């Protein structure tokens, strides 16, 4: 509103990047494409987290078709895509992130190329030594950096699908309204997972719907196969709901506490009846299902990321406000913490029955199998430190590094995505991936810190920050990056964070130009 009123004061409205032409996202085809994009986000976690060949094949075809339609429309009329034509949606940090992702995909493709064994011996002697003895070796005279061409190709196609989804998010989510639609769709899906998982857990034999293989266990898994992957999906919903709660609290004026017990009771009854507080009820449902998943890694990751970022946000906003006006109300982050504590305690009523506290004991946390696997994975990495063993090749090469302490068990995954990334893709692939994540995370954090004391999208930005940070920490003890439904959401949330960062930059640019008296502005914050 401030931006528009400033423009009117100068005699002109702020022209948008789409002035004088029909923007693709506002056409019927563009809106249809966005609807199928939303359906993709809703569908991805439902068929067992898309962790089956048929379901991730459907996921890839769906994503590639949406990407092809968007690319074709841009090729026909580039001016209909203001984000690409003027650098608004994909310029700057977004372009750099896409470029790094493309480099990463190129490197993963390089791992699949056939190389003469003499050249392979020069590039990666360890790979050349075991390659001829692998059952996947096709010819004695050639070899690859990847131990399995089929697994490397499958993993590469998944990464391509995630990259396309990342780009689609940047291109299609071009307004505050669409940003919230995506957030609400993901939150609704996570809530459906929570209700489904709790219903199956408590109804037992009376559960009338589809019963997957996990049915009958004493933990909730929703539509996922593994409780840890179910908890990771719920952590997305919890983080986004925390952001919505912060958005709600920041918009509420701080009322006086005077008036005695009667006034306090009236305020309490009014709060219980106010629709905005239903967000805390939604958070209660998500937390309850999250606790009953009994996932220690997801719990610790969410607590560390959530509390850390909330405390940082409270201190940051307080320091900025104290410099301007020491008498203003406490930051919304500070006012939100008691509400989150009450909601968490309410959900924790079930904790004794969920068994999560027991699994957090030191004796339960010590998992010898994972510790030995991590140790041997480090040995694998030292042998293939630069190029790695090939994308998705851990299960094939790890058999050569088994130790008696594993009691004959062979893990398909290292149960540590960061360590497995280092083993499979070496230093090169790890640096490229961390560069993308670090670039996006810093941009989102910058957008959050620049949001100031106003409400705006600060809550959504904080929710996205908590979601991607908790998922990243959870990956230290699990393999959620190998669950397509969860991995797709992670990439989409990174892109949504860049969308918020771009919108923040637009507002700052508009405000700066307005203060300088310049009414011929390049940007407009299109909320339609």
Convert the pLDDT of each residue in 423-462 to its tens digit.
999 999 999 999 999 999 999 999 898 875 455 578 899 9
Residue 291 CA, chain-centre distance (Å), reads 20
Whether the pLDDT of residue 188 is over 80: the answer is yes
Give 325's pLDDT tier (boundaries 50, 70, 90): low
The average pLDDT across 116-124 equals 88
pLDDT, tens only, 328-346: 667 788 888 888 888 887 7
Tokens of residue 92, six digits? 């700057």
Helices 332-347 and 278-292: crossing angle in degrees, nearest 10, is: 50
| Element housing 143 (H / E) | strand 142-143
Give 479's pLDDT tier (boundaries 50, 70, 90): very high
pLDDT given at position 215: 56
pLDDT given at position 90: 42
pLDDT given at position 175: 86
pLDDT given at position 87: 39
Whether the pLDDT of residue 495 is over 90: the answer is yes
pLDDT given at position 60: 97
Percent over 90 (pLDDT), the chain: 44
The average pLDDT across 503-520 equals 66
Give 362's pLDDT tier (boundaries 50, 70, 90): low
Average pLDDT, the chain: 81
Residue 476 buriedness (CB in 10 A; 0-12 / 13-18 / 19+)? middle
- Tokens 């179910």 found at: 230
The average pLDDT across 281-309 equals 91
Residue of higher predicted confidence among 403 and 59: 59
pLDDT given at position 322: 56
Q: How far apart are the C-alpha atoms of 22 and 270, rounded to whole Å?
A: 46
Q: How far apart are the C-alpha atoms of 45 and 29, rounded to whole Å?
A: 26
Closest by Cα among 190, 218, 187 to 294:
218
Percent over 70 (pLDDT), the chain: 75
Whether the pLDDT of residue 419 is over 50: the answer is yes
Instruction: Please list, in sequence order, all residues whose beta carbon lies within 8 angstroms of the beta carbon of residue 161, skipping any fewer than 6 positions away.
Output: 59, 60, 63, 64, 484, 488
Whether the pLDDT of residue 138 is over 80: the answer is no
C-alpha distances out from residue 292 to 78, 241, 353, Å: 49, 18, 8
Of 92-101, 237-246, 410-419, 420-429, where does mean pLDDT reach its minimum? 410-419
Whether the pLDDT of residue 35 is over 50: the answer is yes
Tokens of residue 302, six digits? 């969410």
pLDDT given at position 11: 37
Write phi, then psi, for 116 (nearest 5 degrees). -60, 140
Residue of higher predicted confidence among 425 and 412: 425
Whether the pLDDT of residue 150 is over 80: the answer is yes
pLDDT given at position 100: 96
Whether the pLDDT of residue 410 is over 50: the answer is yes
Give 522's pLDDT tier (boundaries 50, 70, 90): very low
| Element housing 470 (H / E) | helix 458-474
Closest by Cα among 185, 183, 202, 194 to 227:
194
Q: What is the bridge-based pairing of β-strands 142-143 and 115-116?
A: antiparallel
């Amino acid at each position: 509103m401030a931006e528009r009123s400033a423009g009117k004061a100068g005699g002109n409205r702020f022209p948008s990047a789409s002035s004088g032409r029909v923007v693709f996202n506002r056409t019927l085809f563009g809106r249809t494409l966005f609807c199928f994009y939303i359906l993709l986000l809703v569908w991805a976690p439902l068929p067992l987290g898309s962790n089956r060949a048929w379901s991730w094949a459907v996921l890839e075809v769906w994503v590639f078709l949406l990407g092809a339609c968007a690319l074709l429309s841009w090729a026909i009329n580039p001016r209909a895509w203001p984000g690409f034509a003027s650098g608004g949606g994909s310029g700057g940090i977004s372009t750099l992130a896409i470029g790094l992702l493309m480099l990463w995909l190129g490197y993963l493709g390089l791992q699949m190329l056939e190389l003469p064994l003499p050249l392979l011996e020069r590039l990666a002697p360890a790979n050349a030594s075991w390659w001829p003895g692998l059952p996947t070796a096709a010819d004695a005279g050639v070899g690859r950096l990847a131990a399995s061409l089929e697994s490397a190709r499958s993993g590469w196609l998944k990464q391509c699908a995630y990259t396309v989804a990342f780009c689609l998010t940047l291109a299609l989510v071009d307004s505050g309204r669409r940003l919230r639609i995506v957030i609400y769709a993901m939150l609704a899906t996570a809530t459906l997972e929570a209700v489904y998982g709790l219903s199956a857990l408590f109804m037992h034999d009376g559960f009338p719907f589809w019963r997957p293989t996990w049915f009958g266990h004493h933990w909730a898994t929703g539509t996922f196969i593994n409780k840890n992957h179910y908890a990771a999906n719920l952590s997305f919903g919890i983080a986004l709901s925390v952001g919505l709660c912060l958005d709600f609290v920041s918009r509420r004026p701080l009322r006086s506490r005077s008036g005695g017990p009667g006034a306090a009771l009236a305020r309490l009854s009014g709060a219980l009846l106010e629709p905005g507080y239903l967000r805390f009820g939604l958070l209660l449902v998500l937390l309850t299902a999250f606790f009953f998943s009994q996932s220690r890694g997801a719990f610790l990751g969410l607590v560390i990321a959530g509390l850390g970022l909330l405390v940082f946000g409270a201190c940051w906003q307080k320091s900025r406000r104290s410099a301007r006006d020491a008498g203003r109300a406490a930051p919304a982050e500070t006012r939100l913490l008691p509400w989150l504590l009450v909601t968490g305690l309410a959900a924790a009523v079930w904790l004794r029955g969920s068994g999560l506290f027991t699994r957090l004991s030191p004796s339960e946390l010590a998992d010898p199998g994972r510790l030995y696997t991590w140790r041997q994975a480090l040995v694998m990495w030292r042998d293939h430190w630069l190029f790695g063993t090939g994308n998705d090749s851990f299960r094939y090469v790890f058999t050569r590094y088994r130790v008696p302490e594993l009691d004959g068990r062979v893990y398909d995954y290292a149960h540590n995505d960061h360590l497995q990334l280092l083993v499979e893709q070496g230093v090169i692939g790890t640096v490229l991936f961390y560069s993308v994540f670090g670039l996006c995370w810093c941009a989102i954090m910058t957008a959050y810190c620049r949001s100031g004391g106003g409400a705006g999208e600060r809550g959504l930005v904080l929710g996205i920050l908590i979601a991607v940070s908790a998922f990243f920490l959870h990956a230290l003890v699990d393999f959620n990056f190998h669950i397509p439904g969860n991995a797709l959401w992670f990439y989409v949330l990174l892109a949504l964070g860049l969308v918020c960062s771009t919108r923040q930059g637009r507002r700052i640019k508009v405000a700066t130009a307005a203060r300088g008296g310049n009414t011929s502005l390049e940007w407009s914050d299109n909320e339609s």
